[in-house]
Amino acid sequence: MQRRSFLRGIGMAAAASAVVTPTMVMGAPAPKSANTMNIDDAIKAITGGKKVVKSSKVHLKAPEIAENGAVVPVSVTVDSPMTDSDYIKAIHVFASKNGNVRCADVMLTPANGKAMFAARVKLGTSQDVVALVETSSGEFWSAAQNVKVTIGGCG
Amino acid sequence: MGKRKSLIKVKPKKYKTGDIVKVSFMVMHPMATGTGKDKKTGKLIPAHYVNEVKFLFNGKPFTTMKTWESLSSNPVFTINFKVPGKGELKVVYTDNQGEVNESTKKIKPKG
């Protein structure tokens, strides 16, 4: 009896995968747009080929080990005076190995007072979380941190 | 479908004009990626995520965000804000299925 139920389980799993695969293949082309770029292309699309400098002014806070990939708190703080002439224009957050690497683009103004953004992201597997910062003078700074994920959070 | 629950929090609770406060906006949203399957029917759940969040003070936008499905469900967006005086803080969000929603909070600096 046990063997029978075991075999039935296998059969169902095989059937399920057989059914699922074509639908996934069918579904794939539709969302394949700018959102399925890899991390390098995504960063290039934003910077327009400009040089990105790793800067210690960008503080990326993320846990080193995340038990649950569905909820990973990430915060980005940038040292900047945030005056009208010198401020942080945008903070972009990426998850380097997610299906869609882009998490959020935050457009800031001097009215923020301090350049900070915090949110919770989903991570599919262990990967780097990257923050790309655009200053008002057109420079690009970045910071990255590896996050180990025990249970993936996608799908 | 009823209105989605959303709310704005300002920390700390007591602040003066010119102080930098933390503003969090949270919304009860599924943030479906489009790859997950319904456990009962086995069908793919269509992508459903917040794609734009706008922070406004007295009708003037000061922070805009573009977001994608890589954010967690029931997301919380936190930013800093320098209190310029009395007014109304408004957050408007849009999702990829065309839902538009907003919530407001009165800013009353003391002193």
Number of domains in chain B: 1
pLDDT in tens, chain B (111 residues): 457 888 999 989 999 998 999 999 999 999 988 888 888 888 888 999 999 999 999 999 999 999 998 899 999 999 999 999 999 999 999 999 998 999 999 999 986
pLDDT, position A23 = 41
| Within-domain flag for B37 | no
Taking contacts as CB-CB distances below 8 angstroms, the residues of chain A near B70 are 95, 98, 100-103, 121-122
**Omega prior to B12 cis, within 30 of 0:** yes
| Within-domain flag for B86 | yes
Q: What is the CATH number of the domain that holds B16?
A: 2.60.40.10
The boundaries of the domain holding residue B73 are: 6-32+45-107
Q: How many C-beta atoms surround the C-beta of residue B5 within 10 A?
A: 12
Its pTM stands at 0.80
pLDDT, position B39 = 84
pLDDT at A96 over 60: yes
DSSP class of residue A36? Answer: G
| Within-domain flag for B76 | yes
Does B16 touch chain A if contact means CB atoms closer than 8 Å?
no
Q: Does the beta-carbon distance from B35 to A154 stay under 8 Å?
A: yes
Return the residue in A24, A37, A75, A116 with the most chain B beta carbons within 10 A, the one to mutate for interface testing: A116
> What residue ranges in A1-155 does DSSP mark as E strands?
52-54, 58-61, 65-68, 72-78, 88-95, 102-107, 115-121, 127-135, 140-151
Evaluate whether A113 touches B20 at the Cβ level (below 8 Å): yes
Query: Residue A36 — φ and ψ, nearest 5°?
Result: -105, 20
Cα gap A131→A142, rounded to integer Å: 5
pLDDT, position B40 = 87
Query: Which 82-111 residues of chain B touch chain A by CB within 8 A?
Result: 82, 84
Nearest to B76 among A99, A115, A119 (CB): A119
pLDDT category at A4 given cuts 50, 70, 90 is low
Q: How many C-beta atoms surround the C-beta of residue A21 within 10 A?
A: 10
Q: Does the beta-carbon distance from B75 to A120 stay under 8 Å?
A: yes
